[in-house]
Structure 1
Amino acid sequence: MSVVLSTAPLSASERADSWQDAVSRALVPLDVVLHEDASAAGTIVSRQVGFMRVTTVTAGPQTVTRSPRTIAKGGKETLALTLLHRGIAERSQDGRNAVVHPGQFSLSDSRRPFSESLRQAFSLTSFQFPRSALGVTDLELQAVTATSFGEDEALSALLAGHLKRLDRSAGSVPAAQADRLATVTCDLLACLIQERQGRMTPQEPAAVQAMLLRVKEYILRHLADPGLSLAAIASAHHMSLRYLHKLFESEGVTAARWIQQQRLECCRKELARPTSHAPTVAMVAQSWGFANSSHFSRVFRHAYGISPREYQAAARGRLG
Structure 2
Amino acid sequence: MNRLLSDEMVFRSEDVPAADRFDYWTELLGRTHAPMELRSDHVDDFRASQRVLGLGAVTVWSATFQPLVFRRTPKLIRQSDPETYHLSLVVRGSGAGVWRHRETEYKPYDVFINSSSLPNDVYSTGDPVQTVALEVPKALLPLPRDMAGRIVGARVSARDGMGALLAQFLTRLIADPAAYQPSDRPRLATVVTPLVAALFAHLLEADDCLPPETRRRALTLRLQAFIREHLHDPHLTPSSIAAAHHISTSYLHRLFQDEDATVAAWIRRLRLEAARCDLADPAHQDIPIHAIAARWGFPRAADFSRAYRAAYGTTPKDHRHQALHGRA
Q: Same fold (TM over 0.5)?
A: yes
Q: What code does the residue aligned with 2:223 have?
A: L
Q: Which residue of 2 aligns with 1:155?
A: 162
Asked if 1:172 corresponds to 2:188, the answer is: no
Whole-angstrom distance in 2 between the partners of 1:129 and 1:248: 33
| 1:20–1:151 distance in 2 versus 1, CA, 3 Å | closer
Query: Over residues 232-271 of structure 1, what are the superposed CA-to-partner deviations in whole Å (9 max), with x where a residue is unaligned?
Result: x9958973255579799558847466317xxxxxxxxxxx
How far residue 8 of structure 1 moved from its aligned partner, in angstroms, is 0.9
1:170-196, CA deviations, whole angstroms, 9 ceiling, x for partnerless residues? 443344443343233222222222223
CA 115–155 in structure 1, closer or farther in 2 if over 3 Å, else same: same
Q: Which residue of 1 aligns with 2:259?
A: 258
Counterpart selection for 2:222 from 206, 211, 219: 211
**Amino acid corresponding to residue 66 of structure 1 in structure 2:** R
Q: Give the secondary structure class of the aligned counterpart of 1:160.
A: helix
Aligned pair partner of 1:49 in 39, 52, 55? 55
Query: What residue in structure 2 maps to residue 186 of structure 1?
Result: 193
Once the two structures are TM-superposed, the CA of residue 43 in structure 1 deviates from its matched residue by 1.4
Letter aligned with residue 240 of structure 1: T
Q: Residue 80 of structure 1 contacts residue 126 of structure 1 at CA under 8 Å; is this kept in 2?
A: yes
Q: 1:113 to 1:181 in 2, by over 3 A?
A: same
Q: Name whichever of 49-58 and 124-133 sits farther off.
A: 49-58
Distance 1:212 1:12 in 2: 50
Query: Is the CA contact (8 Å cut-off) linking 1:89 and 1:117 kept in structure 2?
Result: yes
Q: Are 1:86 and 2:92 counterparts?
A: yes
Q: Aligned equivalents of 2:85 and 2:249: distance in 1?
A: 29
**Unaligned runs of at least 5 residues, structure 2:** 262-311, 313-328
Give the superposition deviation at 1:81. 0.8
Which digits, 9 at most, give the CA deviation of each residue in 1:255-293, with x for residues without a partner?
466317xxxxxxxxxxxxxxxxxxxxxxxxxxxxxx9xx
Q: Which residue of 1 aligns with 2:82?
A: 76
Secondary structure, aligned partner of 2:86: strand
1:29 has 2:35 as partner = yes
Out of 181, 196, 205, the residue aligned to residue 198 of structure 1 is 205
> CA, structure 1 residues 114+213, in 2 after alignment: closer, same or farther (shift >3 Å)?
farther
- Shift in alpha-carbon separation, 1:175–1:14, aligned structure 2, 3 A: closer
Structure 1 residue 58: Cα displacement: 1.3
CA contact (8 A) 2:238 2:252 kept: no
Match of 1:103 in 2: 109
Judged with a 3 Å threshold, the aligned counterparts in structure 2 of structure 1 residues 207 and 70 are, in CA distance, closer, same or farther, namely: closer
Give the corresponding residue for 1:65: 71
Provide the alpha-carbon RMSD of the alignment. Answer: 3.7
Quick one: distance in 1 between partners of 2:31 and 2:17? 21
Distance 1:237 1:89, change over 3 A: farther
For 1:125 and 1:151, the matched residues in 2 are separated by 12
TM-score by length of 1: 0.65
Structure 1 Cα separation of the partners of residues 190 and 116 of structure 2? 20
One of 137, 145, 150 as aligned partner of 2:152: 145
In the alignment, which residue of structure 2 is the partner of 1:240? 237
Distance 1:162 1:141 in 2: 23
* Distance change (3 Å), C-alpha of 1:256 and 1:207: closer
SS at match of 2:45: coil
Deviations 1:172-231 (A, max 9, x none): 334444334323322222222222322247x97999544335489x9xxxxxxxxxxxxx
* Post-superposition CA distance 1:14-57 (Å, at most 9, x none): 22221211121121111111222533321121111232111222
1:158, 1:210 within 8 Å by CA — same for their partners in 2?
A: no
TM-score, structure 2 normalization? 0.63
One-letter code aligned to 1:259: D
Of residues 112, 124, 141, the one that matches 1:134 is 141
Partner of 1:282: none
**Identity fraction in percent:** 18
Counterpart secondary structure, 2:34 = coil
| Structure with bigger RCO (C-alpha 8 Å, 6+ apart) | 1
Q: 2:120 aligns with which of 89, 96, 114?
A: 114
Give the Cα–Cα distance (whole angstroms) in 2 for the partners of residues 247 and 177 of structure 1: 34
Q: How many residues align?
A: 247
Q: Tell me the alpha carbon deviations over residues 65-94 of structure 1, each in whole angstroms, 9 at most, x when there is no partner.
A: 111222123152211111111111211234
**What SS does structure 2 have at the residue aligned with 1:84?**
strand
